[in-house]
Amino acid sequence: MSGHGSTRITATVISLVIMLCCLVPQPASAAPLEGSPIVLRSGDWAVHRTQDSMTDANICTAIYRDDYAVQLGSHTLAIGIADGLKNVTLRFDEDKAYPARQPKRSERAVGAIDIEGADFDQLLRSRRLRYRALTANDAIVEGDIDLNGAMDAYRNIQAGCVGDPLPSAERRR
């Protein structure tokens, strides 16, 4: 392959990765959220409000038990998994676990389980989510998320994360 052909392929791959990273809802880094106002606490969920620096629009993100790797947004629940993903298994409430599935390309790219679409609808109707991920290093990562309070957080997110910031004592519950 000539130098120009490989450069073109490399540029195309880089463009694709950048596009996927920008289009895929992904967990925000903890830094902008850590000091952000919390406008609602419900169960183990806290809704943080930040602002888009270009539009000043509210960005609403619910964090589970102060674990910034677990983030609820308006259309997705993202669960960050260190070391990448090989497969994902989800179980809602006491129902039978879904069959293990390969991660979506976007999940692989950002290192997070992304629960969206019909699975997200199921999540909003559930009280508990259990997940298991096989990482790229063949380690198993499991979690159990209490969804009590998640629906209140979701409604607040849908409403634009309205409310005055909670006092400092309420932030650290």
What are the structural domain ranges in the chain?
3-171
pLDDT at site 33: 87
pLDDT at site 157: 97
The answer to whether 101 and 91 are in contact (CB under 8 A) is no
Q: For domain 3-171, which architecture applies?
A: Sandwich (2.60)
Whole-structure pTM value: 0.79
pLDDT at site 34: 85
- What does the block give as tokens for 51? 């602002």
Residues of the chain with pLDDT under 70: 1-31, 169-173
pLDDT at site 91: 98
